[in-house]
Amino acid sequence: MWRYVLKRLAQAVPTVVGVVLITFVLFNVVGGSPAAMVLGQNAGARSLEEFDDARGYNKPLFFGRWTATRALEAVDFSDAPPSVRAQWGAGESGPLRLADGEALRIPFAFPLPEGETWRLTIEGRGTGFPRHGNKSGRFSTVWKKVFHGVENPEFRAEGGAVEIERVRLARGTRHVLDSQLVHYAGRLLRLDFGTSTSLNQPVGNLLRAGIGPSLALTVPILIVELAVSLALALLCAYRRGSWLDRGLVAVCVALMSVNYLVWIVIGQFVFAYKLGWFPVWGFESWRHLLLPAGIGVATGLGVNVRFYRTVLLEEMHHDYVKTAFAKGLGPGRVLFKHVLKNALGPVITNVALALPFLYTGSVLLESFFGIPGLGYLSLNAIHSSDVDVVRAVVLVGALLFTAANILADVALAWVDPRVQLS
């Protein structure tokens, strides 16, 4: 068994690497600018640049020597709107044309820090030379100038006319591996999930603080729901076709038909607010968990009872069950010792799929009842665009799914000798 576990752990390494890459791409590439999401679309260039610099978002995504900066957005004169062209002194369409002796002043959004390396790239064509101070570069297709922290440089055409099509500014990095992906992977190896932008606390501390309330809510729900669902499913399977079986199936369908949110609102309003049997909000004692746990169990019974009933009914049709009853064995012994034991495979698989959610908690229950678990934390992080918190919860949940699959395989081999681990 241990050999199999080690083999599965080795096989899980590429899966973990894939999960890390997927989460990185989703949040750093597809998700847009984290600075703009947190600070707002109307934030100034300097504020956005400082946010990116503090968290490493101004580094290249994967690898590279140069990266973009907000001090100067790339300007394409051929496609730029009239407002941008007017800012740069170009009133007509097409490339920006500089006659002999005319100057182009580069408007930076803020002074560049001294001592850092910057690269200004001017793309265009012409017969002259663009000059910057006492240094000049030949202007053919692309003219590049590397410098250290200047403010609003001025380029002048000398010796002929030039046509400038595009101007870009890049910020130098220490080396090609000084990138967001490398730093992200390095932090994960140190179990450093970053810092929450909304709470200004390490994400690891927030996860450790939220796991206790989440487990206090979800573990009882899983245990009670599993026990009650199996008991009712066994009763339905044994009394299949009877009024009891039809009645329980009808109740399960009703539980499945009503939205989860409706049960939460009705339960909280009736039992907590009107009757006053339970606290409405908070996490001060075990009494605060009774109502949300009860709602979680009740809403999950419909799906689980129907699923386990189907599994048990299929097992009841086997010949060994008929033989056991023919030998005079009691219903309890047949159902629990034979039927349930042989039907544990789908039960274990279903429980294994639910295990990762024990960690991540219940978003709706924790939010409506004020339980400071990971579900509540995740919802607040989404509302405040707290990228590091959301990314950490997604990543940990994905890793837990991998671990749950390994545990399910081991558990299946333990309860069923027919399953061979290889």
Dihedral over Cα of 310, 312, 318, 321: its sign:
negative
| pLDDT tens column, 246-275 | 888 888 888 888 888 888 888 888 888 888
Q: Name the least confident of 48-62, 81-95, 193-207, 334-348.
A: 81-95
Tell whether the model's pLDDT for residue 134 goes beyond 60.
Answer: no
CA distances from 402 to 9, 199, 204, 305, 397 (A): 9, 30, 20, 26, 9
Q: What percent of the chain has pLDDT over 70?
A: 89
Q: Name the least confident of 194-208, 323-337, 382-396.
A: 323-337
Tell whether the model's pLDDT for residue 245 goes beyond 80.
Answer: yes
Q: Please give the CATH number for the structural domain made up of 75-172.
A: 2.60.120
Binned at pLDDT 50, 70 and 90, residue 133 comes out as very low
Q: Is this prediction's pTM over 0.85? A: no
Burial classification of residue 253, based on how many CB atoms lie within 10 Å of its CB (0-12 exposed, 13-18 middle, 19 or more buried) = exposed
Tell whether the model's pLDDT for residue 331 goes beyond 50.
Answer: yes
Tell whether the model's pLDDT for residue 140 goes beyond 60.
Answer: no
Average pLDDT over residues 63-89: 74
In this prediction, residue 361 carries a pLDDT of 66
In this prediction, residue 131 carries a pLDDT of 64
Q: Please give the CATH number for the structural domain made up of 203-415.
A: 1.10.3720.10
Tell whether the model's pLDDT for residue 137 goes beyond 60.
Answer: no
Average pLDDT over residues 392-396: 84
Tell whether the model's pLDDT for residue 141 goes beyond 60.
Answer: no
- Spell out the alpha helix ranges (H) of 148-242: 180-189, 203-238
Residue 210 tokens read as 């939220």
Tell whether the model's pLDDT for residue 9 goes beyond 50.
Answer: yes
In this prediction, residue 282 carries a pLDDT of 82
Tell whether the model's pLDDT for residue 138 goes beyond 50.
Answer: no
In this prediction, residue 135 carries a pLDDT of 40
Listed by start position, the domains of the chain span 75-172, 203-415
Binned at pLDDT 50, 70 and 90, residue 142 comes out as low
Buried/exposed code over 317-335 (b: 16+ C-beta within 10 A; e: otherwise): eeeebeebeeeeeeeeebb
| pLDDT tens column, 100-129 | 888 777 878 888 888 888 888 888 777 776
CA 53 – CA 16 distance, rounded (Å): 28
Please compute Rg for the chain using Cα positions.
Answer: 32
Beta bridge partners, 135, equal 132
Residue 217 tokens read as 């809510």
Tell whether the model's pLDDT for residue 356 goes beyond 80.
Answer: no
Residue 350 tokens read as 């279903």
Tell whether the model's pLDDT for residue 173 goes beyond 80.
Answer: yes
In this prediction, residue 1 carries a pLDDT of 63
Q: Name the least confident of 130-139, 193-202, 380-389.
A: 130-139
Contact 222, 301 (CB under 8 A): no
Tell whether the model's pLDDT for residue 226 goes beyond 50.
Answer: yes
Contact 302, 256 (CB under 8 A): yes
Identify which has the larger pLDDT, 40 or 267.
Answer: 267
Tell whether the model's pLDDT for residue 136 goes beyond 80.
Answer: no
Q: What percent of the chain has pLDDT over 90?
A: 0
- Name the pairing type of β-strands 117-126 and 129-132: unpaired
Residue 7 tokens read as 């083999």
Mean pLDDT score of the chain, rounded to an integer?
80
| pLDDT tens column, 285-329 | 888 888 998 988 888 888 888 888 888 888 777 778 778 777 777
Tell whether the model's pLDDT for residue 144 goes beyond 60.
Answer: yes
Looking up tokens 């959301």 gives 390
Beta bridge partners, 142, equal 123
Sequence letter at residue 137: G
The length of the chain in residues reads 422
With a CB cutoff of 8 Å and minimum separation 6, the contacts of 117 are 146, 147, 148, 171, 172
Q: What are phi and psi of 225, to 5 degrees?
A: -60, -40
Q: Name the least confident of 77-91, 326-340, 399-413.
A: 77-91
In this prediction, residue 112 carries a pLDDT of 85
Contact 119, 172 (CB under 8 A): yes
